[in-house]
Amino acid sequence: MSHLTAWPVFLPLIAGFILLLAQMGGLRLQRMISLLVVFGLVVLSFTLLKEASTGAHQIYLLGNWIAPFGIVLVLDQLSALMVTITSLLALGALAYAVATDTDKKGAHFHVLFQLQLFGLNGAFLTGDVFNLFVFFEVLLLASYGLLLHGSGRLRTKAGLHYVVINLIGSTLFLFAVGALYGVLGTLNMADMAAKVAVAPADDLGLIAAAGLLLLVVFGVKAAMFPLYLWMPSAYANTSAPVAALFAIMTKVGIYSIIRVHGTVFSDNAGELANYYAPWVLGLGLVTLMLAALGVMASRGLREQIAYLVLASVATLLIGVGLNSPEALSATLYYLIHSTLIAGAMFLLADIILKGRGVYEDRFESGTAMPNAILIGSVFMFGAIAMTGMPPLSGFFGKVLVLSAALDHVWFAWILGVVLFAGLLMILSMARTGSLLFYKTIPEEASANSSGSQTGPSLNRMALAAVLGLFLASPVLVLFAQPITAYTESAANQQFNPSNYIEAVLSAPAITENNK
């Protein structure tokens, strides 16, 4: 039992408290602590990644209570990967927030940011369903604060919708957890999986209903059809670093489906084995189609990127719904790519928005922005990665998902929807790029506007943060072999839940002798 496992959870929590006290020391001190902690998290998460890659489950018993009775933190390859993605994304988002002074627009930005990371890492590492609920609440409450950071009419409206839908989601979560506890008598995921396998036939209906209710909750988080309507406006109207960090929030839903449903309703679950998978796959296909239409119909760049995030979520749902180790491996590869690139795109959209002055990010001809060639090239790079065109990682992610889909009975539908949606997205991004960067109004026509002449000069550090996140895409391509090897072994580990169950339930408590 290594204490390192618990640090990604507690480090941001402790940092949150310290930051609250550091308020007196001024913003500079807060920024330094915050950046230092997030950098520490990156280092820590890579250490954990290395530790997890041995294939053994690291179990941390909180309060030294053995497994089904106490709460456990479980580090395996999947959770280590999620923690790593989170910390990398957080580093980029935080660097951007500091570079553009977003954290000055309201109190406690850094505190909320750290608490958000606390909730995210906790949700990724916990092995207990009710504890997952608590961490969901932590990350949601922090996200409410972050979403509303700064102000604005539309932001408040989107925030209200976001808060209400998530509160309803939390209530459903409790109903589902309560029903599962009532039937199975346990909250520990490993124990649950063991008990579902031997559940009496009378209880199966109730367990199945509770499991689908949980799927609805995770669907709200992941923005699965028909529960995605809150998502585009919430992401489009919040500040850029927050939107970038929220790129991981939808993936929390995906992760929870993989973790909870994949473990509890795995192949070993008797009659209920994988009964959720067709739902995920079907709804994923519908979500992808609607997301592609949303991308086409968007009226602003940020809204469009939010729909692109939705499309990536839908692709991930399809990968999860395919329910095979190959598909899960491809899903995880695409998850790394889509999270980091989506974060970078939100940040880039903010740079474009500021450069265009009064035209903001609306889709209409404006005056040329400063440094249009540089920003335009970065945008093109991002658009290629995001829509999944070669030679960047989005393409490889999609190819992997599609090749895993070939064995599935629905493969014609999956191929058709994914490729057609991809085509629509490529078309819209091409249109967006040419509209933003080519169809500009000559300067003299708008000489009397308060527009771009006085626009801010390029913020180099902000651009560096964006480029840093975009760097993930070539890295994912260049090191595709070791990364896919890792995701494959993570997927295989996830598809052998008996090892997980055994590791959790047999983890010994520390006694005085072996302390």
Partner 1 sequence: MEWLISLIIGVLTATGVYLTLRARTFPVVMGLTLLAYAVNIFLFAMGRLTIGLPAVIDKTAESMNYSDPLPQALVLTAIVIAFGMTAFLIVLALKARGELGNDHVDGLHLAKDELPLNKTENVQGTQLNNDLIDDESNMKQSKQTQSVQQEAN
Residues that bind partner 1 (CB under 8 A): 130, 134, 137, 141, 144, 148, 151, 153-154, 156-157, 159-161, 163-164, 167-168, 170-171, 174-175, 177-179, 181-182, 187, 299, 358-359, 362-364, 441, 445-446, 448-451
Distance CA(15)–CA(115), nearest Å, equals: 8
DSSP characters over 477-488:
HHTHHHHHHHHH
Closer to partner 1 by CB, 163 or 309: give it: 163
Closer to partner 1 by CB, 18 or 174: give it: 174
Nearest-approach distance from CB 78 to partner 1, in angstroms: 26
Closer to partner 1 by CB, 47 or 170: give it: 170
Nearest-approach distance from CB 202 to partner 1, in angstroms: 16
- Positive or negative: CA dihedral 204, 208, 210, 211: positive
Backbone angles phi, psi at 508, to 5 degrees: -80, 150
Closer to partner 1 by CB, 144 or 495: give it: 144
Helix (H) or strand (E) holding 61: strand 58-61
Distance CA(176)–CA(246), nearest Å, equals: 25
Distance CA(320)–CA(222), nearest Å, equals: 12
Closer to partner 1 by CB, 249 or 386: give it: 249
Nearest-approach distance from CB 294 to partner 1, in angstroms: 17
Closer to partner 1 by CB, 186 or 256: give it: 186
Closer to partner 1 by CB, 168 or 389: give it: 168
Nearest-approach distance from CB 151 to partner 1, in angstroms: 8
User: CB count, 10 Å around CB of 376?
Assistant: 18
Nearest-approach distance from CB 216 to partner 1, in angstroms: 14
**Alpha-carbon distances of 290 from 162, 241, 285, 442, rounded to whole Å:** 20, 26, 9, 36
Closer to partner 1 by CB, 229 or 419: give it: 229
105, 149 in Cβ contact below 8 A? yes
Nearest-approach distance from CB 300 to partner 1, in angstroms: 8
Q: Among 238, 296, 204, which residue's Cα sits nearest to residue 97?
A: 238
Distance CA(335)–CA(398), nearest Å, equals: 11
Closer to partner 1 by CB, 180 or 341: give it: 180
Helix (H) or strand (E) holding 73: strand 72-75
Nearest-approach distance from CB 358 to partner 1, in angstroms: 5
225, 283 in Cβ contact below 8 A? yes
Nearest-approach distance from CB 86 to partner 1, in angstroms: 22
DSSP characters over 295-354:
HHH-SBHHHHHHHHHHHHHHHHHHHHHH-SHHHHHHHHHHHHHHHHHHHHHHHHHHHHHH
User: CB count, 10 Å around CB of 87?
Assistant: 27
Nearest-approach distance from CB 128 to partner 1, in angstroms: 11
Closer to partner 1 by CB, 206 or 475: give it: 206
Would you call 46 exposed, middle or buried from its count of C-beta atoms within 10 A (0-12, 13-18, 19+)? middle
Nearest-approach distance from CB 129 to partner 1, in angstroms: 11
Helix (H, G, I), strand (E, B) or coil at 115: helix
